Amino acid sequence: MTTTDPLLAVAGLTVRFRLPDAVVHAVTDLHLDIRPGELVAVVGESGCGKSVLAHALLGLLPRNATVTGRALLRTDSARLRGGDGAAQSAPVDLLDCPPRQLARQVRGRVVGLVPQSPATSLTPVRTGRRLLEETLRAHGHTRADAPAAADRLAVDVGLDPADLDRYPHELSGGMAQRLATALALAPDPPLLLADEPTTGLDRPLVDHTLDLLRRRCDAGAAVLLITHDLAAAQRVADTVAVMYASRIVEHAPTEALFEAPGHPYSAALLDALPQRAFRPVPGHPPMLTDLPAGCAFAARCDRATPTCRVQPAFTGTRSGQVACHHPLEHAELCAEVPA
């Protein structure tokens, strides 16, 4: 595998939740590649489907979920083995992977997860130290060196090693978040899914955590950062995928997207930042149980025309990909910025 090959190639990922009286369109026709050494941020308003993406990749969705598409994981890691016990060399489709293989060989070993709600994912009857040392021993550390390794990991994530001797209910939300990050990093997975990893942290610890994820990528791992924090994405991401109403509407290099977004929704998100126009995105996102046939952002967009009643396809721009019938041009953006 060369460094240009995707470690994870997601194609056509679609997730539906069937309710008694409705269908939730949680993720729709999502395409996304993540390469070794790359940090990809997925941003968007709450409820757009960001976290469902991470859970779908790891088989953590409820029984009423229907998942289609492909998510090919290409890794030469000996931790991923086939049914005969031999090291897996061919790509593995995470969406078609047997639950037993996902649980025993993928989750934690090859793909790590920093959960959005760490307090509910930590075992309440074990201290943080026991959880972390058990994880380290399960992934190659000896009983003798696990305590020192646990202390080092605690320091790496900004946690006092003494706090590892507490039970989860004795930890603050931010401390539980840092412990969850340490547990995800302990097996040294090639791919890390970080779902809102800075929840409950103050700004210095936010920056500390983001820099830690960036160093992981610089060392060769890949990170998918799911966040609503645009400043976080701008700080560490190589590329940013903007998600709206279950779809990715723009994917571009970070610097290019922040300087000249192509989709009106991306521009509206950036305009909502305090350091920019500090102007909220107008209107409200549609219900995922009642999405329009065309562009879901059309009802909130001042560029909408009858053409927007048809779902736009992705087209290439000078900097990335955008799904919009009337993408913004750089000249327009410059005209809108006060001199």
Q: Which residues make Cβ contacts (< 8 Å) with residue 259, sequence separation at least 6? A: none
DSSP 127: -
Please identify which residue in the block is written with the tokens 């970080």: 194
169, 310: one domain: no
Q: Identify whether residues 72 and 34 lie together within a single domain.
A: yes
Q: Residue 179: give the domain boundaries.
A: 8-241
Task: Tell me if 185 sits within 8 A of 153, measured CB to CB.
Answer: yes
Average pLDDT over residues 122-143: 95
Q: Report whether 108 contacts 189 (CB < 8 A).
A: yes
Q: Which amino acid is at 324?
A: C
* Residue 300, in any domain of the structure: yes
Assess contact for 13 and 71: CB atoms under 8 A. yes
**pTM of the entire predicted model:** 0.92
Whether 105 and 249 share a structural domain: no
Is residue 12 within 8 A of residue 70, CB to CB? The reply is yes
The answer on pLDDT for 60 being more than 50 is yes
pLDDT of residue 121: 85
**Structural tokens at position 301:** 């967009």
Same domain, 232 and 265: no
309 and 197 in a common domain: no
**Is residue 139 domain-resident?**
yes
Cβ neighbors of 56 (< 8 A, separation 6 or more) are 13, 15, 27, 65, 67, 71, 95
From 212, 241, 270, give the residue that closes a domain. Answer: 241
Residues 143 and 153 in one domain: yes
Query: Are residues 173 and 185 both part of a single domain?
Result: yes
Does pLDDT of 156 surpass 50? yes
Chain-centroid distance, C-alpha 256: 20
Could you tell me which residues come within 8 angstroms of residue 222 by beta carbon, excluding any fewer than 6 positions away?
7, 8, 34, 35, 36, 37, 38, 39, 40, 190, 191, 192
Q: What confidence tens digit (pLDDT) does each residue in 311-323 have?
A: 999 998 777 899 9
Is 260 a member of any domain? yes
The answer to the question of residue 2 being in a domain is no
How many domains would you assign to the chain?
2
Is the pLDDT assigned to residue 335 strictly greater than 60? no
97 and 234 together in one domain: yes
Inside any domain, residue 261: yes
Please indicate, yes or no, if residue 1 is contained in any of the structural domains.
no
pLDDT computed for residue 4 by the predictor: 77
In a shared domain, residues 159 and 217: yes
Half-sphere exposure of 332 (CA within 13 A, CB side): 10
Residues 288 and 159 in one domain: no
Kindly state whether residues 152 and 20 are assigned to the same domain: yes
Q: Strand 222-226 relative to strand 39-43: parallel, antiparallel, unpaired?
A: parallel
